[in-house]
Amino acid sequence: MNKNVLVGAVLTTAIAGTLSACGSSSDDSSKSTAADAKQPSGQLRVLLESSRKAGFESVLPGFKQKYPGVKLNVQYVPSAQAGTLIRTQLASGGGPDVFFTRPGSADAAAVLPLAQAGRVQDLSSRPWAKDVLGIAKPLITANGKIYAWPLDTSIAAILYNKTLYQQYGLTPATTFSELLAQCKQVAAKGKYLLSTNVVSYPAGWSAELVSAAEPDFIEQRKANKVTFAGDKGWTAVFDHTKAMNDARCLGRSPQTVQTLDQSMQELAQGKALSVMATPNQLGTASTALGKKGEIGLAPLPGDTAESQIIASTPSAALSINAHAKNLPAADAFLDYLASPSASRQFAEANQSVSPYDINAGKYPADFAPFQKLIDADRVAVSNFGLFQSPDVALAAATGAAGVLTGQMSTEQVLKTMDQAWDKGPVG
C-alpha cells in the first residue's frame, strides 16, 4: 500500500474538534478599498488540492477581478501527492508561492513540521489571524506563531441509505452496542452496514475515546508521561475496530475499499447501507444512489448515548512559502481567501462550513441531525492531527488493517505507534 496515500487518507478522515469561537471580524478583503491603489502584480504560483477544486474555482474569479495585475499559475494535485511534492520542492529552495497544507503534524503535507523547518511564512500579522477558529489554532501554531489559514472544517458522519434503513427497520445508531447489533442484523440478510476506508475507524473513535476523555493525552505523551500501549482510551479504539469486524459490519476484508469512490459504488449497488464520510459528500452520495433511495446524515454513535460527540477537525489549509518569489501577491491571495465573503463562498461550493459561520454558530440545514450535540458543546478533536509525525498515523492505519485481518493484536498496534512516536518529529 502506498504510504503517502494511506497517510493522506488518515488525515482526510481523522476528525474532531471543539467548536470554540475566537472572535469575528468586520474586515473583508474580498471588497475593494482605497488601499488597493498599490496593488500587487506579476506571476503567482499556487498549488492546490484537487478534491477542493470546486471551492477554489468559485473564488478565483473574484480574486482575478480584484487584482488584475496578478497572473495566477494554478496547479491542482491529489492531496495524497501534495505533501511529497511540496516537501521536495521546498527542500531544494523552490516550490510555489502559496500551497495546500494539512493542519497539524501527522501528514506529509502537515504545516507544523514545515514551520519548524522554517519553510513557511509567519502569518500572525495578517488581518484574518485573529479570526482563526479555536479548534484550528493548535494545529497551525508553532512557537506562538500562525503558519496557515484553515480553509474549512469537516466532521465525521454516517451517510446512510434511508430507503434500505426503513426496509430493515433501522434508525441511525446512537451507541456502539446498537451499531454492532445492527451490523449483525444486516449481515444476516446478506448485506453490510458500513463501507469506508479502513483508517476511518480508529480516527473516528479516537475523538470520543481519547480526545474527549483525555484532552491532555498528546501533551502527556510529549512529556513521556504516558504511552499509547498503556492508555485505556487507545486500547478501546482498536478493540472497537476489531469488534466492528467481528460483528460483520464491513461485509468482507476492508482493505479492498481504499477510496471514497469505491465506498460510494458499494452504497449505490446496495451492498452497503451506509458510508462513513463527511457531510460535504452528501451530493456525491446522492448522485451515486440516484433514484434507488434517499441519503440521510447522522453523527457517529457514542460508546454510550451520553458520551456521543461530534468528531470535527479543520482538514485543509493554505500556507505561504518562506521563500516566496512574489510575497505581496501571495499575501493578497491568502487575505482574499480568508475574507468572510470568500471563505463562505468557498465553503458553500465545497459543501463544507466556513470558520466564520462556525464562530457565529451558523450551520447548513444538512447539519440538523448534529444540532443537539452542537448545542450541548459535545464536540471533540481527534488526536491524529497532533501526532508529531506522519509515521505515527501510518502505524495506526496499518495497525487497524492488521487488527481487522487478525494479523495484529491491539497491543501490537499500540506498541508500533509508540515506536513511531519515539523516532521524533519529521523535519
Residue 8 domain-assigned (yes or no): no
Residue 247 and residue 193 in one domain: yes
Residue 44 domain-assigned (yes or no): yes
Helix/strand/coil for 259 = coil
> 387: which DSSP letter?
S
Residue 164 and residue 253 in one domain: yes
Residue 271 and residue 415 in one domain: yes
- Give the DSSP H or E segment for 383: none
Task: Give the Cα separation of 26 and 427 in Å (integer).
Answer: 37
Residue 162 and residue 279 in one domain: yes
Residue 356 and residue 395 in one domain: no
Q: Could you tell me the CATH number of the domain that includes residue 92?
A: 3.40.190.10
Helix/strand/coil for 234 = helix
Residue 13 domain-assigned (yes or no): no
Residue-wise pLDDT for 129-179, tens only, equals 998 888 788 889 999 999 999 998 778 889 999 999 999 999 999 999 999
Residue 289 and residue 325 in one domain: no
Residue 317 pLDDT > 60: yes
Residue 7 domain-assigned (yes or no): no
Contacts of 268 (CB under 8 A, 6+ apart): 288, 289, 290, 292
Residue 303 and residue 322 in one domain: no
- Domain containing 267 equals 156-310+383-422
CA–chain centroid gap for 142, Å, is 20
Residue 200 pLDDT > 80: no
**What CA dihedral angle connects 145, 148, 150 and 151, to 10 degrees?**
160
Residue 5 domain-assigned (yes or no): no
- Between 330 and 37, name the one with better pLDDT: 330
Look at the chain and report how many structural domains it folds into.
2
- Residues 363-372: contacts with CB within 8 Å, 24+ apart? 364/279, 366/279, 366/282, 366/297, 367/279, 367/297, 369/172, 369/296, 369/297, 369/298, 369/299, 370/155, 370/157, 370/299, 370/310
Identify the band that residue 353 occupies on the pLDDT scale cut at 50, 70 and 90. Answer: confident
H helices present in 297-361, as ranges: 327-337, 340-349, 355-360
- Give the DSSP H or E segment for 40: none
Residue 172 and residue 150 in one domain: no
Question: What string of DSSP letters covers 79-148?
Answer: HHHHHHHHHHHHHTT---SEEEEBSSSSSTTBHHHHHHTT-B---TTSTTGGGS-TTTHHHHEETTEE--
Residue 235 and residue 123 in one domain: no
- Mean pLDDT, to the nearest integer, of 309-338? 93
Residue-wise pLDDT for 265-295, tens only, equals 888 888 999 998 888 777 778 888 887 788 8
* Contact between 299 and 363 (Cβ < 8 Å): no
42-49 and 272-277 beta bridge pairing? unpaired
> 163: which DSSP letter?
H
Residue 283 and residue 404 in one domain: yes
Residue-wise pLDDT for 205-253, tens only, equals 888 899 889 989 999 999 999 999 999 999 999 999 889 888 988 865 5
Amino acid at 426: V
Residue 63 and residue 163 in one domain: no
Q: Return the closest-CA partner of residue 426 out of 72, 132, 197, 108.
A: 108
Judge residue 287's burial from the number of C-beta atoms within 10 Å of its C-beta, 0-12 exposed, 13-18 middle, 19 or more buried: exposed
For residue 93, how many other CB atoms are within 10 A of its CB?
10
Residue 272 and residue 413 in one domain: yes
Task: Give the Cα separation of 58 and 69 in Å (integer).
Answer: 20
Residue 14 pLDDT > 60: no
Boundary residue ending a domain (343, 367, 391): 367
